[in-house]
Structure 1
Amino acid sequence: MKQKQVYDPLTVIIHWLTAIVVIGLFAVGFWMVDLNYYSKWYQTAPFWHKSVGICLAIVTVFRLLWKLLAKSPVIEGARWEIVSAKIAHFLLYLMMFGIFMSGYLISTEDGRAIDVFNWFSVPAMGELFPDQSDIAGEIHEYLAYGLIGLAVIHALAALKHHFINKDNTLKKMLGVK
């Protein structure tokens, strides 16, 4: 059986869409923590941040299910690079799910559901432990910084493979042979 040379178009689209959305959510989150009650964005920014975050969580679950079904190209590089790539991908997903869960805990401590673009609501479980939103907020922030840091390393590794190793690592995720 011939090994795949590039990622399928759906995987490529979800990968790059995820990258854009994660960077956007990070930027909005960084900006909105300084909003005060009198800002016109005080209600709107968190609504959009939560809605987009929940949509990203749904897409990420789909992405993982798709990953189980779709054949992926072989990871190129030395053994340590392959192991590092697998660990990094695992950590990227782990951090994203940690961010999704901590965001949920921040938003639902008061017992109110999260309204997603007025399409549907994610029910709340309320306060599960004391100082839930403060603790979850700290976790959310640290994981967000960690995710961005690891994403930068991920991007630099892809550029290293492209420009130094001159292999097809980056081209595969661009859908180019």
Structure 2
Amino acid sequence: MPTSPVLMTAGGEANGMMIRDTSAGYGVPTRVLHWGMAVAILGMYWLGLWMVDLTYYSPYYQLAPDIHRSIGIILLTLLLGRFLWRIVNDKPDDSELSKMERTAARVVHWGFYPLLLSLMISGYLMSTADGRAIEVFDWFSVPAIIENKGMEKPAGAAHALLAHLTILLVIVHALAALKHQFYDRSGVLGRMWSGSSSNR
């Protein structure tokens, strides 16, 4: 008899909502991180494209990059947290996928981590090339490790390229999820949205 997602406490009692990932589906932390980071990454991409065309006299000339950098630092911490959470959790069952589909899914999934990490590091190097720290919403600052103004342009070029590659991978990931959900009827999207497959 199939079981519904539950919250497992330290003692193992059911409490209504699943925290840890299991073979049946994804827990709340994974789903919140997945959708939250997806929205943030898409928003950051749009913000990056928009702010590069701002003129010096625009009221957002300083504000937009400050917001972009601050969110980038926060996303870096969330990415590291997501990576650690993924390591210590079980993986939901994907036996309904073919061997090739499972391999492709793993390549895309694990490809996100080095790609996003490189994207964020290049943004950090570009922003701190002049030796100034990054102020994260006036909450705290992240100091510059390397001061080298000659690094700003190559780091910026790498950052732009990595941003485009990230969005390309997001599109591939989204199309694959939609294909599995609505064509294959595998319930993959349902597991990431509600925690369990709606097609089972």
Normalised to the residue count of structure 2, the TM-score between the two structures is 0.84
- Quote the RMSD (CA, aligned, Å): 1.4
1:26–1:144: 8 Å Cα contact kept in structure 2?
A: yes
Q: Which residue of 2 aligns with 1:120?
A: 140
Whole-angstrom distance in 2 between the partners of 1:45 and 1:126: 24
SS at 2:135 equivalent: strand
1:6–1:172: 8 Å Cα contact kept in structure 2?
A: yes
Structure 1 residues without counterparts, runs of 5 or longer? none
Q: Which residue of 2 aligns with 1:74?
A: 93
Match 2:171 to one of 108, 130, 152: 152
Post-superposition CA distance 1:99-123 (Å, at most 9, x none):
1100000000000000001111111
Whole-angstrom distance in 2 between the partners of 1:140 and 1:78: 35
Q: Which residue of 2 aligns with 1:106?
A: 126
Q: Shift of the alpha carbon at 1:125?
A: 1.8
Q: Which residue of 2 aligns with 1:61?
A: 80
Tell me if 1:36 matches 2:55. Answer: yes
Bigger Cα displacement from structure 2, 18-27 vs 93-102: 93-102
Aligned residues: 175
Normalised to the residue count of structure 1, the TM-score between the two structures is 0.94
SS at 1:35 equivalent: coil
Runs of 4+ in structure 1 deviating by more than 2 angstroms, as ranges, are: none
The answer to which structure has the higher helix fraction is 1
Whole-angstrom distance in 1 between the partners of 2:104 and 2:186: 17
Q: Shift of the alpha carbon at 1:92?
A: 1.3
2:177–2:188: 8 Å Cα contact kept in structure 1?
A: yes
Whole-angstrom distance in 2 between the partners of 1:131 and 1:163: 49
Q: Shift of the alpha carbon at 1:90?
A: 1.7
1:112–1:126: 8 Å Cα contact kept in structure 2?
A: no
Whole-angstrom distance in 1 between the partners of 2:30 and 2:136: 24
2:25–2:93: 8 Å Cα contact kept in structure 1?
A: no
Q: Which amino acid aligns with 1:161?
A: H
Whole-angstrom distance in 2 between the partners of 1:111 and 1:131: 12
Tell me if 1:162 matches 2:181. Answer: yes
Q: Which residue of 1 aligns with 2:66?
A: 47
